Amino acid sequence: MTTTVRVAIADDHALFRQGLKSMLRLQPEITVVAELERADALLSTLERTPCDVLLLDLQMERAAFVDIEDLAQRVAVVVVTATERVEDAVAALRAGARGLVFKRFALETLMTAIHTVMEGHVWLPPEVQNEIASQLREQPAVSLTRREREITRHVSLGLRNAEVAEKLGVSEGTVKTHLNNIFQKLGLRDRVELTLYAVRTGIVRANERAQ
């Protein structure tokens, strides 16, 4: 049985918002539960309305970056934006967004992003991943151990530390220790950069999902 996904749309362009809502309502597994045109109503609306995925425009009456961190504690945030600046994509991911879709992309791309984040993973268009990766500083010529590669792979596929620990049969503390060593060894700052490193080096494929 297909699980219904409850979606909220936040965009201050009424025409786009209405068009997106009309298209999503044609999808049998999607229920649009809310639509908003103002960023300052986001948290209060989500408190009142059960929701699984928020489709959030970055360019509302205020920059949505200030809201993503709080919103991501309540709902899976998929940024839907006209801007294609790589730095905006990275900033949104670091703030807690689980996916990013450009407005010029087709509905199928948006549906793929929704289903991917509902499975607990991050979704980015492959070309965006490649562009972000190409802009990262060159990684030092170091080799990861087998265990470090395993942890890098699982983390890059969106698993939390506890889930990685369960898969590998180790403690969560051991996973945290390995992650700290990996970040230091590679000169990386966070999981976003680690995921991009994993894609660039072939540890995972772009948009690969955890099994």
Q: When comparing pLDDT for 200 and 77, which is higher?
A: 77
Split at pLDDT 50, 70, 90, the class of 1 is: very low
pLDDT surpasses 80 at 60: no
- Strands of the 99-102 sheet, one edge to the other: 30-36, 5-10, 53-56, 76-81, 99-102
The mean pLDDT of 76-92, rounded to a whole number, is 82
Domain ranges of the chain: 5-124, 135-201
pLDDT surpasses 60 at 121: yes
pLDDT surpasses 50 at 120: yes
Q: When comparing pLDDT for 134 and 105, which is higher?
A: 105
% residues pLDDT > 90 (the chain) = 30
Interatomic CA distance for residues 52 and 54, integer angstroms: 7
Mean of all residue pLDDT scores within the chain? 83
Fold entry, domain 135-201: Arc Repressor Mutant, subunit A (1.10.10)
Q: When comparing pLDDT for 143 and 163, which is higher?
A: 163
205 to 37, 42, 50, 189: CA distances (angstroms): 36, 34, 33, 21
- Of 103-112, 114-123, 128-137, the range with the lowest mean pLDDT is 128-137
pLDDT surpasses 90 at 8: yes
The yes or no reply on domain 5-124 and CATH 1.20.120.1200 is no
The mean pLDDT of 69-82, rounded to a whole number, is 86
Rounded to 5°, angle at Cα 166 from 161 and 167: 100
* Residue 165: other Cβ atoms inside 10 A: 19
Rounded to 5°, angle at Cα 71 from 111 and 171: 90
Residue 192, both tokens: 């976003």
pLDDT surpasses 90 at 43: no
With a CB cutoff of 8 Å and minimum separation 6, the contacts of 134 are: none
